[in-house]
Chains A and B, each alone.
Chain A
Amino acid sequence: MASFQIDQEAKYTQKHEWVRIEDGLAVIGVSDAGQDMLSDVVYVELPTIGRTVSAGAELAVVESVKAAETVYAPVSGTVVEINDALVDTPEMVNANPYQSWFFKLQPTDSLNSELAALMDPAAYDAFVDANAH
Chain B
Amino acid sequence: MVDFAGWALPVQYPTGPTVEHQAVRTAAGLFDIDHMGRFQLTGADADLFLQYVQVWDVEKMAVNEAHYSLLLYSDGTLVDDIFLYRLPERWLIVVNASNRAKDWAWLQANALGFEITLTDISSETCMVALQGPKAAEILQRLTALDLNTVATRTGIEGDLAGAPTLFGRTGYTGEDGFELYFPATHALQTWNAILEAGQADGLLPCGLAARDSLRFEACMPLYGHEIDATINPLEARLGWVISWETEFIGRTALLKTKLEQPQRLLIGFEMVERAVPRDHYAIAVGDKVIGYVTTGMKSPTLDKFLGLGYVTRDYTKLGTEIDILVRGQPKKAKVVKRPFYQPRYK
**Interface check B338, CB cutoff 8 A:** no
Is the beta-carbon distance between B297 and A42 smaller than 8 angstroms?
yes
Q: What 0/1 readout, one digit per residue, does chain A (16-54) give for beta carbons within 8 Å of chain B?
A: 000000000000000000000001101100000000000
Is the beta-carbon distance between A66 and B276 smaller than 8 angstroms?
no
Q: Tell me, rounded to whole Å, the shortest Cβ–Cβ distance linking A30 to chain B.
A: 16
Q: Which residues of B contact A61 (CB under 8 A)?
A: 327
Q: Tell me, rounded to whole Å, the shortest Cβ–Cβ distance linking A18 to chain B.
A: 21
Is the beta-carbon distance between B12 and A39 smaller than 8 angstroms?
yes
Query: Which 7 interchain pairs have the tightest Cβ spacing?
Result: A42-B298, A40-B18, A63-B276, A43-B276, A65-B17, A40-B16, A65-B209
Is the beta-carbon distance between B274 and A43 smaller than 8 angstroms?
yes
Q: Tell me, rounded to whole Å, the shortest Cβ–Cβ distance linking A60 to chain B.
A: 12
Q: Which residues of A contact B190 (CB under 8 A)?
A: none
Q: What 0/1 readout, one digit per residue, does chain B (273-302) give for beta carbons within 8 Å of chain A?
A: 011101000000000000000000110000
The bracket for how many chain A residues form the interface is: 10 to 19
Interface residues of B (CB under 8 A from A): 11-12, 16-18, 209, 213, 274-276, 278, 297-298, 305, 327
Taking A61-B327, A65-B297, A66-B209 as contacts, is the C-beta distance between A40 and B17 under 8 angstroms?
yes
Q: Which residues of A contact B275 (CB under 8 A)?
A: 43
Q: Tell me, rounded to whole Å, the shortest Cβ–Cβ distance linking B277 to chain A.
A: 10
**Interface check A128, CB cutoff 8 A:** no
How long is the Cα–Cα vector from A43 to B18 in the complex, in angstroms? 14
**Interface check A80, CB cutoff 8 A:** no
Tell me the nearest residue of chain A to B209, going by C-beta: A65
Tell me the nearest residue of chain A to B278, going by C-beta: A68
Is the beta-carbon distance between B16 and A42 smaller than 8 angstroms?
no
**Of B11, B12, B276, B327, which one neighbours A42 at CB under 8 angstroms?**
B276
Q: Tell me, rounded to whole Å, the shortest Cβ–Cβ distance linking A61 to chain B.
A: 7
Q: Which residues of B contact A87 (CB under 8 A)?
A: 274
How long is the Cα–Cα vector from A61 to B18 in the complex, in angstroms? 20
How long is the Cα–Cα vector from A94 to B15 in the complex, in angstroms? 12
Q: Which residues of A contact B16 (CB under 8 A)?
A: 39-40, 94
Tell me the nearest residue of chain A to B329, going by C-beta: A45
How long is the Cα–Cα vector from A133 to B16 in the complex, in angstroms? 16
How long is the Cα–Cα vector from A95 to B274 in the complex, in angstroms? 22
Q: Which residues of A contact B298 (CB under 8 A)?
A: 42-43, 65
Q: Which residues of B contact A66 (CB under 8 A)?
A: 11, 209
How long is the Cα–Cα vector from A43 to B305 in the complex, in angstroms? 10
Tell me the nearest residue of chain B to A63, going by C-beta: B276
Is the beta-carbon distance between A68 and B276 smaller than 8 angstroms?
yes
Is the beta-carbon distance between A65 and B278 smaller than 8 angstroms?
no
How long is the Cα–Cα vector from A42 to B297 in the complex, in angstroms? 9
Q: Which residues of B contact A63 (CB under 8 A)?
A: 276
How long is the Cα–Cα vector from A65 to B327 in the complex, in angstroms? 17
Q: Which residues of B contact A94 (CB under 8 A)?
A: 16
Q: Which residues of B contact A40 (CB under 8 A)?
A: 16-18
How long is the Cα–Cα vector from A94 to B17 in the complex, in angstroms? 13
Q: Tell me, rounded to whole Å, the shortest Cβ–Cβ distance linking B37 to chain A.
A: 26
Tell me the nearest residue of chain A to B299, going by C-beta: A42
Is the beta-carbon distance between A39 and B17 smaller than 8 angstroms?
yes
How long is the Cα–Cα vector from A63 to B298 in the complex, in angstroms? 10
Tell me the nearest residue of chain B to A2, going by C-beta: B14
